[in-house]
Amino acid sequence: MVAFVQKSTKRWHKIAFWGRKTPVISILILTSICFVAIFAPYIAPYSPIKGSLSKNLVPPAWIEGGSRAHLLGTDHLGRDILSRLIYGARVSLTVSLLAVFFSGTVGTIIGLTAGYFGGFTENLLMRFTDIGLSMPMILMAMVLVAGLGPSYFNVILVIVMLLWPRYARQVRGETLSIKEREFIDLARVAGSSGFRIVYRHVFPNVIPTLLVLATLQVSYVIIMEASLSFLGVGIPPPTPSWGAMVSDGRGVINSAWWVFLFPGIAVFLTVLAGNLLGDWLRDRIDPKLRQV
pLDDT one-digit tens code per residue, 148-206:
888 888 899 889 998 999 999 999 999 988 888 888 888 888 877 878 888 888 898 89
Mean pLDDT of 116-121: 86
**Helix, coil or strand: residue 80:** strand
Domains and CATH numbers, the chain: 26-291 (1.10.3720.10)
Binning pLDDT at 50, 70 and 90, where does residue 287 land?
Answer: low
Report pTM.
Answer: 0.84
Q: For residue 15, is pLDDT > 80? A: no
Rg (CA), the chain: 23
pLDDT one-digit tens code per residue, 61-86:
888 888 888 899 899 889 999 999 99
pLDDT of 286 reads 61
Please report how the helices 152-178 and 119-134 are oriented relative to each other, as an axis angle in degrees rounded to 10: 130
Binning pLDDT at 50, 70 and 90, where does residue 28 land?
Answer: very high
Q: For residue 212, is pLDDT > 80? A: yes
Question: CB 28: neighbour CB atoms within 10 A?
Answer: 11
Q: How far apart are CA 3 and CA 142, in angstroms?
A: 57
Phi, psi of 67 (to 5 degrees): -140, 140
